[in-house]
Structures are given as C-alpha cells and as structure tokens.
Amino acid sequence: MKKDLNQIFDELLNRYIKTIEKNYQGRYKKAKDKEFVKEELKKGTDFILDWTWLDTSKGKLIQAFSEMYKRGEDMNEIISHIRKSFGEIEDIKPFRRIENGKKITLYLSDEEKALKSLALNERKLLKFLIRDTAYREIQKHLPVMFEEAQRITPTTNYPIKWTGKKDTKNEFVQLIYGLHKAGFINEGKGEITKIVESLAGVFKVDLGKGWQANHSSSIHKAKNNYQPPVFNKIQEAYHQYMQEQIEGKKKK
C-alpha cells in the first residue's frame, strides 16, 4: 500500500530531527568548554537557516511552504501549490524590457531555473523542505536539548527489558501513548513520538522504522468499542497480584 505523503514527510522529518539532535548532544557532552560548543552549535544552526534566505527565490518558496504547513494543510496540496507557483512557469517572462525603444525578451535567470527544477522534482523538494523544517525545529528546542544532555545518568543501572512477544510491539506503543495522554508522563506534554522512542531505548524495544504507521493503522482499523489488549492484561495482572497479596497476608 502506497504511503500517504503526510505520513512520509512526518516520518522523514522526525528521523532527520533525531539524527541532528543526537549529533548535537554528542558534541555537547564531550565538550570541555560546554558554553563554547553551545554557542558554536547555535551559530551553526542560525547560519544554515540564514543561508537559505540569502537566495531570495528559495526564501519565498520556504515562506509559502511554512505558512501552509503551520496551518496544518494537506502535504499533497502544499506540494501542488509549490509546483504551480514556482515550477510551472514559462522560461520566457511575461513582460519585456524596453531599451533604446526596442523590446527585449527576458528569460529566467539561472537561479530561477534552479528553483523551477527544484519545485518540479518532488523527491528533491521534500528533502529540501524536510532539512529546512528540521533545523527550524532544532533552533527552537536548542535550550531544552542542552538541558537534557546535562542530566546525570543514574549510577545504578538495573537491567530491564520489554518481554512482550515480537508481534506485540504495538502494545508497548499503545501503553506509552495511554500513559502520556493520561498525564502520567511529562504531565501529558512533550512530543509523544520522541517519548516513545526514548522509552523504547530504556526497555530495549526495537520498534522498527514503521512503528508510527503501524500504530496509526491499528487506530483507524479499530471499531468504536475496541480496547487494546495491553490495558486488559495489565488490569487483570494487577488484580491477580492484589489477590495474591491478600491471600498471602491471610495465611500469615
């Protein structure tokens, strides 16, 4: 089944952000002068984003994309709009310059032709938009990222592992989503996909590349009265634990 463009964009964006964060945090952790590296990474991020805007034509494309993306519009519609606005244009401009009383035909500049080529190549366009969007997200979250990197890892490291069956990885995801939504994790705040992946690392769960798609599919295929098995299992298991404790106390 062909993936939805919105899903493809979000998956690639999250993966790209995660890669940048890992690189930044790694450089920050090993730094002898953390304030120097913090400022260096900040300036580097700002430079990457400012460099895009130096090309005014690409800047206009980014602005058009950003406005539609922030409004939550469908990615297919966004790409279609960019294609029409920046790609489906004539090589000859719709006006002519007059010099010495003569009309001179004007053509697209090399920069404009490059922009046109980018807008018409969906693969390259998505890569360009994902890169820019990822660095904008990184720019916003830099302070929090450095705070997380400074946290001290506990000295005691008791081994824990998710021991659900291989085909029940989605139950792990459902459990974390449920706890987060109920406010038991980070008061229900923060990016849930990163929380799931972070806890998956703690519990040594190999979620696989398509875990978000699998979780989304399980929701949309479910009936109104569907209850994920993991919650029933936990309820039944804890009830059994309570009964065992009560019975054990009676025997004493």
Q: What is the pLDDT of residues 68-81, one digit of tens each?
A: 998 899 999 999 99
DSSP state, residue 154: P
Say which residue the tokens 């008061």 belong to: 187
* Tens digit of each residue's pLDDT (9 = 90 or more) over 160-179: 888 877 667 889 999 999 99
Q: Are 49 and 132 in contact (CB under 8 A)?
A: yes
* Tens digit of each residue's pLDDT (9 = 90 or more) over 103-115: 776 777 888 888 8
For the segment 43-70, the average pLDDT, to the nearest whole number, is 86
Provide the residue ranges of all domains of the chain, joining segments of one domain with +: 5-150, 166-251
Say which residue the tokens 């007059």 belong to: 98
Q: Are 210 and 3 in contact (CB under 8 A)?
A: no
Q: Is 12 exposed, middle or buried (0-12, 13-18, 19+ CB in 10 A)?
A: middle
Angle at 117 (CA atoms; ends 62, 112), nearest 5 degrees: 70
* Tens digit of each residue's pLDDT (9 = 90 or more) over 168-207: 788 999 999 999 999 999 888 888 999 998 888 888 888 8
